[in-house]
Amino acid sequence: MTGSTDRRVTANLSLTLDGRYSGPGGPADFGMIAPYVTTDVARNHLTRIWEEATTAVLGRVNAEGFLGFWPSVADDENADPRDRGYAKWLVDVEKVVFSTTLTEAPWERARVVNAPAADVITELKATGDGEILVNSSASVIKALLSADLVDRLYLMILPEIAGGGPRLFDDGLPASKWTLTTQETGRLGEMAMVYDRVR
């Protein structure tokens, strides 16, 4: 790709055993995810995802949720240091927020885009350095998987079956091969896994 840098596109998401990122109750149905987010494995994984990232990519719903919650953690001296590290990174990092309804970003160091995800990510890859992290925003991750633009997947696999709700890996994605580079299992049976795209 002409003009492209070596910026890696990464994406993180938590999934149940049946591949769901939220339950049958809709986008706010995280009952099957909540018990695992404060485990050591999950917190170590959280640190892993942002350490090399210099751009965060978010959908609007996630941006509103994350940026309404994490800044207070950044200032909380009693918070787990791994949570604070992530929170400070999220506040300070360049953020690109996909939205069809917002016209300007209500957060610092953020810009709103209303364009196909593949086009925006291709532009980001052509400039700057550091990883581009698609931060738990399934709609953006799905679009980038369809365009084969994801280089690394950070997945938390949770030992529960949701029985309903949206899946990350829909039928019709292009076939691809991945290699497992990191795997950590927690005491509750949660697994943090890092997969790199084989190209």
**pLDDT tens-digit profile of 29-48?**
888 888 999 999 999 999 99
128 φψ region: left (φ > 0), alpha (ψ -120 to 50), beta (else): left
pTM value is 0.93
**pLDDT tens-digit profile of 98-124?**
999 998 898 999 999 999 999 999 999
C-alpha–C-alpha distance, residues 25 and 94, integer Å: 32
Domains annotated for the chain, with CATH where assigned, are 9-163 (3.40.430.10)
The yes-or-no verdict on residue 1 having pLDDT over 50 is no
CB 61 within 8 Å of CB 100:
no
pLDDT band at 28 (very low <50, low <70, confident <90, very high): confident
Q: Give the pLDDT of residue 4.
A: 56
The distance of Cα 161 from the centroid of its chain, to the nearest Å, equals: 21
- Rg of the Cα trace of the chain? 16
What is the pLDDT of the chain when averaged over all its residues? Answer: 94
**pLDDT tens-digit profile of 70-101?**
999 999 999 999 999 999 999 999 999 999 99
